[in-house]
Amino acid sequence: MKYTLLLSLPILLLLTCNQASNYSFPVEVDTRTKEISVQEKKTWAFPEAGLAVDNEFDGARLNAVRQINDTSYTFIIEPENGPINPSPWYAMRFKSDRDQTISVRLTYPPTVHHRYFPKISTDRQNWGPVDSAMVTLGLGQFTADVRMNLRAGQTHYLAGQEVINSTDVADWLDDLNTRYEVVCAFSVGESKMGRNLPAFSISKGKPDMRPTIVLLSRQHPPEVTGFLCLQAFIDGLLEHPRRDEFLDKYQLLVYPLLNPDGVDMGHWRHTAGGIDSNRDWARYRQPEARQVADGIVATMKKTKSRVVLGMDFHSTYKDVYYTHNDQVEPPTALPYFKDAWLAAIEEGIGGDFRINEDAEPIGKPTTMSWFRTQFGAEGITYEIGDGTDRAFVRRKGQVSADALVEVLLSR
């Protein structure tokens, strides 16, 4: 297959500079900056109804509110720009001065379907789905009507998924950094709008020549279940009884929030540069992909290590593992790993669970294909369903970490 002349050279030659190599993937994607519409932060107050609604927190998405009557409202949800993947993200906050039941109609641009089943919280920490009897999808699922029971003086949040913004990720990382001596937090740089691009290593001592595993997450802001699975994966690895034995042989680099601007601005999919970050791994035109890709390459050169496995955690309509088929070149650094790992996950979960794998050739410039072309590493896109039970998400993440340790140590 033809990607670039450099692919005909030994992999080590790719590490002779501190910048990631450019590639010509079979499917080219234009990732030059595109204009976005920045959501106005405001509070919509309805004094006679005793209600205020706002989007004045990181991760919110609400573009306009129209009152229909004392208890009914239409909420307008617009994307940051277009064309865009039809994954309408919404998140807003309610404050009521009385006990009341209101009806909210979520509306999207024409042809855009409702995707995320509404969830509710009073503290933004504990979330649960709205009672299905209080949710009605409109004709063609282009709208969603949600009835909410509000309590006087209590804050309520309504969102498509749990709201986990850049501050929440920073707090989680601070906790890991404090509790585990093998965790070392650092910054890769800044996003287009100046937000931190957080990262951490998991290693016994300083990273060195041991083979490196890279984990990524949150390129697409609403894909929260992928991040929850990453968290469970990290917990499973850090608490594994063979952790120290594993870290004698391998080390990890973790980038949990690749699109902090999009996450905090409540974007449906894109960065502040108006593009899909997971299509920018050929030319690195946006600062997020550029800094992370160059940072990984520079670290490999400095430590004389090599990336052997890269996993990117995402969300979609169902649980699935996107992998490469056997025809992809160059050969993977871990030819035995994928099949053994997936089989170990299936066995570890047990019961009626069956692995859903979708093996494909290299096509678009995604992280999965970048790991293969840049390093000859095994690349996997780890997708979790939007509505997958959260207890199962956690279990699956931890079982996946167990399987990683056992498979790699068995070889």
Tokens of 384: 């979790």
Q: Kindly compute the dihedral angle of the four CA atoms of residues 345, 350, 352, 355, in this order, to the nearest 10 degrees.
A: 10
CATH 3.40.630.10 in the chain, residues?
A: 5-30+164-410
Tens digits of per-residue pLDDT, 374-403? Answer: 999 999 999 999 999 999 999 999 999 999
Angstrom distance (rounded) from CA 375 to CA 372? 6
Cα 152 → chain centroid: 35
Which tokens is 233 given?
A: 């994966």
The Cα 165–Cα 111 span in angstroms is 28
CATH class of 5-30+164-410: alpha beta
Whether 367 and 253 have beta carbons less than 8 Å apart is answered as no
CATH class of 43-159: mainly beta
Portion of the chain with pLDDT greater than 70, in percent: 96
Q: Where in the chain is the domain with CATH 2.60.40.3120?
A: 43-159
Q: Tell me if 276 sits within 8 A of 222, measured CB to CB.
A: no
Strands 307-316 and 378-385: parallel
310: its two tokens: 């890269």
CA distance 338 to 379: 9
Task: Return the closest-CA partner of residue 266 out of 6, 101, 75, 134.
Answer: 75
Task: Count Cβ atoms below 10 Å from residue 54 Cβ, excluding itself.
Answer: 17
Question: Exposure pattern of 254-285 as b/e (b: 16+ CB <10 Å)?
Answer: bbbbbbbbbbbbbbbbbbbbbbbbbbbbbbbe
Token pair of 346, please? 């299936």
Please tell me the predicted confidence (pLDDT) of residue 3. 34
For the stretch 124-151, pLDDT in tens is 999 999 999 999 998 778 899 999 999 9
Mean pLDDT across 295-313: 98
